[in-house]
Chains A and B, each alone.
Chain A
Amino acid sequence: MSDASLNSHTHTTTLPSDGGFSDFFALLKPRVMTLVVFTAFVGLYAAPGDIHPLVGLIAILFIALGGGASGALNMWWDADIDRVMRRTRNRPIPSGRVTEREAFGFGITLSAIAVVMLWLATNWVAAAILAFTIFFYIVIYSMWLKRWTPQNIVIGGAAGAFPPVIGWAAVTGGISLESVLMFSIIFMWTPPHFWALALFMRSDYDDAGVPMLTVTHGRRATRVHILVYTLLLAGLAVGIGFTMVGGPIYVAASVALNALFIKGAWQIWRRSEEDAEADNYKVEKAFFKLSLYYLFALFGVIALEAGLAPLGLGGW
């Protein structure tokens, strides 16, 4: 018997605390967390200086927990939108397995634990940036910008760009050009990534009343924006190769990856809506998928350079 039938017979509302472990885990947005964990690891690994492996592991764990906590708070605040959108309708709150109050308490508690533990394990700078990231994602992005401006993804993307900066600060206790550039890469990558999704998710954002660029400025303008942001991203992504965290391997890989990414954005820009509908958004879906591989590969090569440096093979 499903939850729905149980509730329809016995309760008008969901019982609090009915969610299982997997429901609470789903509140942490585990798929987003993989990106947080990976980019935080690269920031930490590529940073100059030493950190005890266990402290490094604990730092990444609590950066991930902080990211997950902000995901739970985001689901608490956006529950009304999630109920409308097809993509998010089965999340724990819209499906009734977790109440909004539980998600809020869960998110706040985990946020506090993550920030305090990161401070204890590393330093106050890393903890402060993590606290700011959570604040930025919930208050600036979710509560304010997401429902107000079509630039929501652009500015909100900053929240997802902080993990490598936090990882870097965990080792060095500060911020530097390299960590800012790593931030900039994710910041510039986020808009084309999400706008590609918005193109093929069609009516989801319309139905939810979220002012995505596709809704406010049209799909043609979104295609132009994807190309422009991809070109700007390429400049940053190749540029970081000439700093302390780069090297010949990174520059070569980065040029190849950005050439592929620009090719995808170019194809999206050239297509009309009729073309896209005819093949069920094949190119847009492929670009969205490529964007995930692109970011993982780019940061993977930064980590590779850092790993080869002690052997005299990586870096400049």
Chain B
Amino acid sequence: MKTIIHLFLALAFCANVTAQDSSYLAIVGGDIHTVTDGVIMKGVVLCKDSRILKIGKRVRIPEGAEVIDASGMQVYPGLIAADASGIVNGRGVDVADSYDPYKLNLDLALAGGITTIQNGGMVVKLKHGTIDNVLAGPTSWINLNYSSTSPAGRRRVREEFSKVRDYMRLHRGWKLTSSMGEDAGDEPEAKGVKEDYLALLKGEATARFSANSLKDLLATCELLEEYPMQSVIYGGQEAWACAGRLGRVNARLIITPRSKKWASDDLNRPSGWTIENANILWEHGVKFAILPGENSISLMGLAGRDLMTLPMEAAFAIRGGLQQDAALRAITIDAAEILGVDHRMGSLEVGKDANIIVCDGDLFHYRSFVQWAVVDGKLMYDKQKASYFAHIRPRAEEVIDEMEEVIDEMEEVTNIDAPEVVDNP
């Protein structure tokens, strides 16, 4: 029995050679869900500084690297909440100046596997204990009010877009003429043209709509057909009923699979919510991110429907027929793409930011906990050290550590050195 324990210890010890100062961090032995390139069973993710250096089955781990033993566990990219409030303070660049890296909500978000959020138009990394490099960039979203409750607002939006289109045509004509060497006169001025709207039609910004009902979604599709641009639609409860059209205008959605809505009697076509919403959107090639009903860390009300349990919301889409890897995309790479940061995060790829979580089971299983969260190559959350969940199903290795201590103590007692005997000369 004792030898078995020792063998166990030796193994555990090999995998646990830690060095805090090293710029390397290796996550060893877990099943790596890369999101974009399948699953690597029992592989290694090696990070250097803040980036992923290598991923694979045979990766040499540099001496002195900090090693996380993820054997038997599942490794995912850090989850991304496309919209969050109450985790960090401030809007835009102010977030950096009002960042509290010891805030409880931040720790709880990390405990839920979230490593990146969008807050007040800024993509923010969640880091415990440091305020360095926490911003990942602005979203460049422009809010458009295109709801059926405000017909005047709709008219204004269309008028503004029409002005922008006229100006763009004029400008294109002028550019063409002058490029052919003819006298085209002065460059047309962008007078009375809204800069925001111009940026939208030029493809430099993303339009953000709020639309839940089929009516609003169809109207939004109509606008996007007339004025093609990048878009994000919040809500989308009845999006399944016009999924094809949403796909054709390349709309991207942020949906809450569990939010329910009655079917509308005054429509002569299917409406209302369905558990299959996410799956139908997926089948029609519509990109979407998943968010829970409350976009904050909520310490009140019913548990399981706020950002502490983001994967649970995605699990509900799986219940409605969505494939598991599609559900994973909706809270990682697709959310990153909607935020415009998919070149840096959202999947496990060499060169990307080292934002990684390690779960003790399948991410979408209610039993699973996030054991470690790594942000920018640094360990930011360790379940065993955070006081909130450490006592629930503690990690096996901690039990081994305790046993090791007991054995050490026993050895100390037995290995008493005999006093040195000096011969009398």
A complexed with B: no
B residues neighboring A (CB under 8 Å)? none
